[in-house]
Amino acid sequence: MTELKLLQCRIDGRYDIEDCLGRGSYAEIYMARDLAATDERFRKVVIKALNVLLQGYQDPELERTLTQNFQNEAIALDRVRHPHIISRLGHGTAIDLTGTDFHYIVLEYLGGGDLALLCRKEPLKLDRALFYLQQLCAGLAHAHECGVIHRDIKPQNLLLTADHETLKIADFGVAKIEATEGAITRVGTNIYAAPEHNPLVQTAALIAGSVPGAQTQLTPAADIYSLAKTAYAMICGAPPRVFAHHAITELPAPMSAEPWAQSLLRVLERATQTRPGDRYQTVQDFWDELSDASLPATQPLTTAQASRRISSDLSLEAEVITAAPPKPRFETSRELQYQEVAGNGATRPKIVVPIAGQLAGHLTVAPMQGFAAPQQVGRVTVPVSRNGQPAGAGHGHIALKPRRRTRDFVVGLVLVLCFAGLLVATGAYVRSLIRARTGAQTTTTGVVGHDALTTNDLNLRDGPNATNNQIGLAEAGSKVRVLNVNNNWCEVQIVQHARPKDDPNSADRGWVNKRFLKFD
């Protein structure tokens, strides 16, 4: 497993990676802070990075498939922009700290976690579950109107805002664009996936020719199957594990005792039939039946209510908060290297730099053997600064060697020099401490036993302090011998008076301030 080295790093000179939210088979999800965001709602973002080496070495054909799927996810998100579908904010290509190149897309951050986590904390009441299901149906119906089938609807892919009031559909990694094109492929999650694209089950009823009218084209009914299984998990508070690959035929206690249980079960059972043609064919039809089933049995319907479809409450219009970013074009390493050799003026991707570093926004890197070359200007956001000019324009660039071995040598040399500098600084500091201690000893205890001359008439005191009693006098020019030292005071013995003593009874031994002594 080769994980990207992105934590505490800056991408594109604007995205500071703060935490890793998770890793899938071929993608890594990070939380980041966008330093260039002008809208506070998008200050915190999610970076979804494609890492084709996450499971080890990959062959070129698999890399091509993964890259194409990653690009399709970005295109699908732009096509279905809606208040209840997560928004794509940007994309790019970069190289991490170990020299691994990767594509990434930038998504809006939702701080409320996923619906599966919320359901695990406490079961949802029926009205609260319907509150979220209405938003889910609105977003999913809009996606179908745009020709996109999600193919992996489940509670883990339904994200909530921090206040838990807004639900948004996420993870269009296996979404199919233009549902009427191409054959069915086996994707999805075991418990929630429809039989026609479940990765673990071969359903005889779906094999072409085995059943009259068997379908070989994917339809919105596949998402409706997963939608019904998700509704079961939300209302019943547990995943429908017992009904994996099968229709829902009963509700658990105590839900089965509720007055609306049989009506709700009838809707869920029809939506999870094995044959796609036996299910609801539109999300609107499913929501109409589900909403009606949840109403109290005794509630009368007015004439206006009876003639009006409940699904008309679904917000299918895309209320675009921000304009979609430029369309991405992610290519494999081999394709990008060919463009570089052909000399088509492709811009080089930036290298990821640590947040604490001072070189962010000033480093460029040449294409390295075995890694993706850069995209063209306008197709990738990484090499372009916020004003649209090539990143680093007007600044000095540090040209890095094209081969990884040379780069590793330079990095190693820098580390050695830093370590050597640390050793030199430490040695200088230790030597300064030794000199200070030695000098202090020389100027204090080193004078004991030495002779000195007094520079002034000095009062001899009975202790090393100016407040102690005066017991004698050392005349200016007297010769004294140091007997002891206490800070800046010296205990001295007068060896020779400079003039006769005025008081024959005054002491010849006492403490004086060292600054009035002159040593030979």
Q: What is the tens place of the pLDDT at every residue in 364-422?
A: 443 333 333 333 333 333 333 334 343 443 333 333 344 567 778 888 888 999 889 88
What is 110-299's CATH superfamily? Transferase(Phosphotransferase) domain 1 (1.10.510.10)
- Both tokens of 118, joined, read 């919320």
Mean pLDDT of the chain: 80
Q: What is the pLDDT of residue 117?
A: 92
Low-confidence ranges of the chain (pLDDT < 70): 1, 58, 178-188, 198-216, 296-313, 315-323, 331-350, 356-404, 436-445
What is 445-519's CATH superfamily? SH3 Domains (2.30.30.40)
pTM here? 0.63
Distance (Å, whole) CA 12 – CA 6: 12
Task: Determine if residue 487 is left, alpha or beta; phi over 0 gives left, psi from -120 to 50 gives alpha, anything else beta.
Answer: left
**Count of CA atoms in the C-beta half-sphere (13 A) of 82:** 27
The CATH number, out of the four listed (3.30.200.20, 3.20.20.10, 1.10.620.20, 3.30.700.30), of the domain defined by the range 1-108+322-402: 3.30.200.20
327 contact partners, CB below 8 Å, separation of at least 6: 74, 75, 78
Q: What is the pLDDT of residues 153-202, one digit of tens each?
A: 999 999 999 999 999 999 998 888 865 444 445 566 789 999 887 644 54
Coil, helix or strand for 41? helix
Give the end-to-end CA distance of the chain in Å, rounded to a whole number.
76
Distance (Å, whole) CA 61 – CA 472: 103
DSSP E strands in 227-314: the ranges are none
Bond into 60 cis (ω within 30): no
Of all helices (H) and strands (E), which one includes residue 454?
A: strand 451-454
